Amino acid sequence: MMRFSGRFRSALIIGLQGIRSRKTRTLLSMVSLFLGVLAVVVVQAGASIAERALLADMELQRGLDGTKVMNMAPQPQLSEIIMGTVPGRDDAVAVVGVSAIIGEPGVRPVNPNASPFDEIGYYGAPMFCDENGNCREQTPAEAGPEGQAIEVRLTALTGDVRKFRPFRASAGQWLDFDSLPMMAPRLVLNKEAAKGFERYKVPAEMRVPGASANLTPQIIGVIDDGDYQPRAYVRMDEMANWIPATKLIDPAMGELNVLMTASTPVEQVLTSKLKAINAEPYVELINSRKEQEKELSLMRLIFLAMAGLVLLIGVAGILNVGLATVGERVEEFALRRAVGTPRALLAGIVLAETLITGLLTAALAIAVSAAALKGIVLLAGDSQPFLQGVVFPWDAGVAGVIAGLIAGVLGGFVPAIRAAGIPIATVMRA
């Protein structure tokens, strides 16, 4: 073991001396290899950031991995079960969605059916639905005249849903569930709804089906929830001041689900109560990373294959430089053989030079990539929320080091064999 350690140390020292004495050739090797290693590092870092961005958007819309979502068809009799089980708990949040129109009373909203403001009319004409869920297109008289009003999906919450769906704050503040409910409901808009309030000047008057009177909401903040529809979030207890619990759930156009932790007893309690009234819930466990694993792996492999081709070009460059260097040092290697240097040590000297060159190139590529990523975060972090707090991924650095080592071995293997095969007689001919 000591003998091997001594040879390794000798090869390393002589290799460093060879690099220092041939700076120009070392620089040429690094230039030819730099782009290949940089491509591997960039692809690995880009794949990690793309995975983060994809999962971040899915977390906004569906929920964090490990969250259980109980979906059920909206029915009026469900309201008492939900309100009697979920409110006040930290391990579950009920989410009830209804339609709401904010603006002038008795007029048709500018975006019927809560259409995105850049796609008005995409969801068709305004609809009328009776208590049995039968829907039809509204007549012009039922829709009302054109006016200054916008339609949103009003989402009532029993608690802070951000523990399950990590909304990103854009302006203002989020709903405070620890304070007493107010008669004027506080609303937090998503970015699409905020776009509508910027474009249209509408009065602060909100009408919700089933409410005893039109409400005067208070807009306190804006968040990014990943939804393309205009949506407003409100405390359910503040809506209960105006709408009876039996009317809050709209069987025709409503939304109803419960977000829970994986180990909460709420799931079993709700399931038992719902089955008692012949309502069959559907429970889904959110596992976005596993669901997207194949797509993410395929994307990573495709880009790594492309980076591998660039790396092979760099390996060819370091191979050519290595062969040229060995050709110039034939007499040196023959002389070393004449004084008793083993062939393995000669091969180790050449491999040590290429490995050191590969590691230096990898370090340079990693440093450039990390600096570039930091610059991108500083310049575009505000406009791209998923970039906020992004740091250079360690797996990209590891990939760069591995790529540098592989390139050093592949680029130095043939020159090392050629150096080890130089006969002692060559020094006699010199």
If you search the block for the tokens 């290595």, which residue do you land on? 322
| CA dist., res. 31 & res. 35, Å (int) | 7
Per-residue pLDDT of 163-202, as tens digits, reads 999 898 889 999 999 889 899 999 999 999 999 999 998 9
Report the Cα–Cα distance between both ends of the chain, in Å, rounded: 36
Query: Given pLDDT bands bounded at 50, 70 and 90, which one contains residue 132?
Result: low
Bridge partners for 103 per DSSP: 149
Segment 379-408 shows an average pLDDT of 73
Segment 305-329 shows an average pLDDT of 76
Structure tokens at 186: 């506080």
- Torsion sign over Cα 251, 252, 254, 256: positive
What does the mean pLDDT of the chain come to? 79
Q: What residue type is 103 in one-letter code? A: G
Instruction: Map 363-374 to HEC letters.
Output: HHHHHHHHHHHH
Query: Given pLDDT bands bounded at 50, 70 and 90, which one contains residue 3?
Result: very low
Query: Given pLDDT bands bounded at 50, 70 and 90, which one contains residue 152?
Result: very high
Residue 160 vs residue 138, higher pLDDT: 160
Q: CB within 8 A of 183, min separation 6: which ones?
A: 238, 241
| CA dist., res. 310 & res. 40, Å (int) | 9
Mean pLDDT comparison of 46-55, 77-86, 102-111, highest-scoring range: 102-111
Q: What residue type is 418 in one-letter code? A: R
Structure tokens at 190: 């998503």
The answer, yes or no, to whether residue 264 has pLDDT greater than 50, is yes
Residue 4 pLDDT: 47
Query: Given pLDDT bands bounded at 50, 70 and 90, which one contains residue 46?
Result: confident
Q: In this prediction, what percent of the chain has a pLDDT beyond 90? A: 16
| CA dist., res. 269 & res. 294, Å (int) | 36
Residue 387 pLDDT: 64
CB atoms within 10 A of CB 212: 11
